[in-house]
Amino acid sequence: MVSGGKAGPRFPGAGCVLLAVILALAALPAGGCGRESPQATVYHFLGAVQAQDFDAMRSFVSPEARRKVEGEERTRREWDELRRRFLDGTPDWRFRFEDLELSSRALDPDHALVTAVGGKCAYYRLKDGRWVKEGEIDFSREEFVPLYLVKRDGEWYLEALDLYVLYALETACRE
């Protein structure tokens, strides 16, 4: 606490940087860390989205869901298009989450739905060397697709594929 009533220097965006660091650290896959509950899994997954840590994102998706992509021709084509859109080259997109609040509802001991009920997600694109905000979703005012989770070997995983979640977030932010 600063005494004398005068605040120290303020750095614009320092809060965003701190949030990004916290979410990036939270997304690090460590022996079961982040998979102990449906909500924790989604928080860590979204931290990986914000950090653009694609390996971590994928680690929060159930292996069964990842295998489904390889099984159907139509799904494989969609997946290839999403890979080109989000993963080819250096990403020219970013998601930033602020004050995220999640709610979870157990469907049975091994299945749950997690819904974003508060906070915001902003979507940015790189244009002419600058990050331009292209949209935002306020989860307290707008519904976002609930994420279905499954418990395997004591750990929670998303059933939605990582790139499908990115696409849904992008679409919701632009609407």
What the block records as the tokens of 90 is: 């250096």
Asked if residue 35 belongs to a domain, the reply is yes
Predicted confidence at residue 5, as pLDDT, reads 40
Asked if residue 6 belongs to a domain, the reply is no
Number of domains in the chain: 1
Asked if residue 169 belongs to a domain, the reply is yes
Asked if residue 3 belongs to a domain, the reply is no
With beta carbons less than 8 A apart as the criterion, state whether 40 and 23 touch: no
Largest CA distance in the chain: 68
Mean pLDDT of 136-145: 94
Domain that holds residue 140: 14-174
Asked if residue 1 belongs to a domain, the reply is no
Mean pLDDT of 87-91: 88
Asked if residue 19 belongs to a domain, the reply is yes
Say how far apart CA 3 and CA 143 lie, in whole Å: 44
Q: What is the pLDDT of residues 92-133, one digit of tens each?
A: 999 999 999 999 999 999 999 999 999 999 999 999 999 999
Asked if residue 9 belongs to a domain, the reply is no
Asked if residue 59 belongs to a domain, the reply is yes
Quick check: 7 pLDDT over 70?
no
- The CATH number covering residue 35 comes to 3.10.450
34: confidence class by pLDDT, cuts 50, 70, 90: low
Say how far apart CA 53 and CA 163 lie, in whole Å: 12
Nearest to 132 by CA among 85, 81, 174, 86: 174
Q: What is the pLDDT of residues 153-165, one digit of tens each?
A: 999 999 989 999 9
